[in-house]
Amino acid sequence: MTAVTVAEVRSVRRRSRFALITGQALAGIGMGVTFSSGALLATRVSGSESWSGMSATMTAVGAAVAAVPLAALARRHGRAPALTTGALVAAGGAAVALVAAVIVSFPLLLVGLALVGVGTAVNLQSRFAATDLSDPGGRARDLAVVVWATTVGAVSGPNLIQFADDVGLSIGLPALTGPLLFTIVAQLIAATIYFVALRPDPLRLAARIRAERTAAGVVSFAGLDRNGVRTGVISTSLSHATMVAVMSMTPVHLMDNGASLVIVGVTISLHVAGMYAASPIWGLLADRLGRERVIAIGQGLLLASLLLTSFGSARADLVMIGLVLLGLGWSASTVAGSALISESADPARRTVVQGRADLVMSGTGAAGGALAGPILAAIGYSGLALVAIALVATVLVALAWRARRRASSPGEPDDAIAFGADEAPTTPARGVP
């Protein structure tokens, strides 16, 4: 077998980026619709607003449960099988949720929503997949481009709620189930793209290059930064919990205050735009300014969002602005935190670390969604936002601790791995500068 060339690496990198971007755009449609209508559907099927947060909770639980198995599947067989499997499970989950709504079975609806949540695990793994063949100096940028791709579908998805609902009603489906049809179709198309276009598989190509470099005796590794992994996991997970808790309760709060489905859709669309549209900027800043500084910026945006939504909860326009800031803060923290995790992990176990990081991130999101409903019922939307400030404070403490550690240990190792995957080479392929 001939050695991997620069041209081959660049070709696979371009093809993989196309597949990931396209798949994320399509999957974003389904996830955007589900996020917007899920809480309302849970309320209708359960008959109680107290259960509304279970929509976000179960999708987060599904993402958490699927994170490690999908990472293990990717490690053994490559990104294409892992992402394809996840998308197919998400499509099946949407079908189960639709049936549950038709027969009015809340337990079955929860199962379906959990399976839909596997699509979120695919979304999270895709951002790491973008770094499989990345150079260290552009890892955050490559990761952010795939995060950005979700904008196309995720922003349009919430605005399709009314249209999707009308489609569902026109064919005899119960109210709020039409959006699930869109989720099914979008995930099936995304699965097809992952299966067909992620060939050669970027992770398996990276493994091949690593084997070549190891055989040539040119492998080098700068070291493992456990504190960096820990800080990245805390930042991504608690930022995600903050976002899920507030975002999942916003449609319920707006509807209770007389807002229409159109207003709810626009608000969530702008929120999702904040989550994804600016991600390339955060990626660029994270590569240039450092991961920790961009995480800190993200926490500042989250704090501003929580204060605005709390004290401006009676006004739909202020809630809308607060949700945009919530999305921007999540984006900055997730992009920079994910890059910090990738570059700080041991290359021999990077995929494992990524899977566990996604597990924690989704798990905290599930907890945030589960607690959001009871908190909303007990102290209202304003109180929920104020309670979430404690999560922001925890991330800032973690950043301060890392800064102190780095100041006291200036020789702490930095990542110098060329391709950014756990099976990737530690030096470039032949001819790669």
Q: What is the predicted pLDDT for the residue at 33? A: 65
Residue 281 clears pLDDT 90, i.e. is over it: yes
Residue 430 clears pLDDT 60, i.e. is over it: no
Q: Which of 20-34, 149-163, 313-327, 346-360 has the highest mean pLDDT?
A: 313-327
Q: What would the pLDDT profile of 115-151 be if each residue is shown by its tens digit?
A: 998 988 898 899 888 888 877 677 888 888 888 887 7
Q: What would the pLDDT profile of 168-214 be if each residue is shown by its tens digit?
A: 888 888 888 888 888 898 899 999 999 999 988 888 888 787 777 77
Is pTM beyond 0.85 here?
A: no
Provide CB contacts within 8 A for 122, sequence distance 6+.
27, 70, 83, 86, 87, 90, 190
Under the banding of pLDDT at 50, 70 and 90, the label for residue 217 is: low
Q: Which of 129-133, 158-162, 356-360, 388-392 has the highest mean pLDDT?
A: 388-392
Under the banding of pLDDT at 50, 70 and 90, the label for residue 414 is: very low
Show the domains of the chain with their CATH numbers. Answer: 6-203+220-408 (1.20.1250.20)
In this structure, how many other beta carbons lie within 10 angstroms of the beta carbon of residue 68? 16
**Stronger pLDDT, 406 or 243, i.e. the higher one:** 243
Buried/exposed code over 367-400 (b: 16+ C-beta within 10 A; e: otherwise): bbbbbbbebbbeebbbebbbbbeebbebbeebbe
| Mean pLDDT, range 393-414, rounded to an integer | 80
Q: How many residues does the chain have?
A: 433
Q: How far is residue 144's CA from residue 382's CA, in Å, rounded to a whole number?
A: 32
DSSP string, 219-284: -------HHHHHHHHHHHHHHHHHHHHHHHHHHHHHHHTT--HHHHHHHHHHHHHHHHTTHHHHHH
The residue with tokens 């110098």 is 416
Report percent pLDDT > 70 for the chain: 87
- Contact (Cβ atoms closer than 8 angstroms) between residue 182 and residue 160: yes
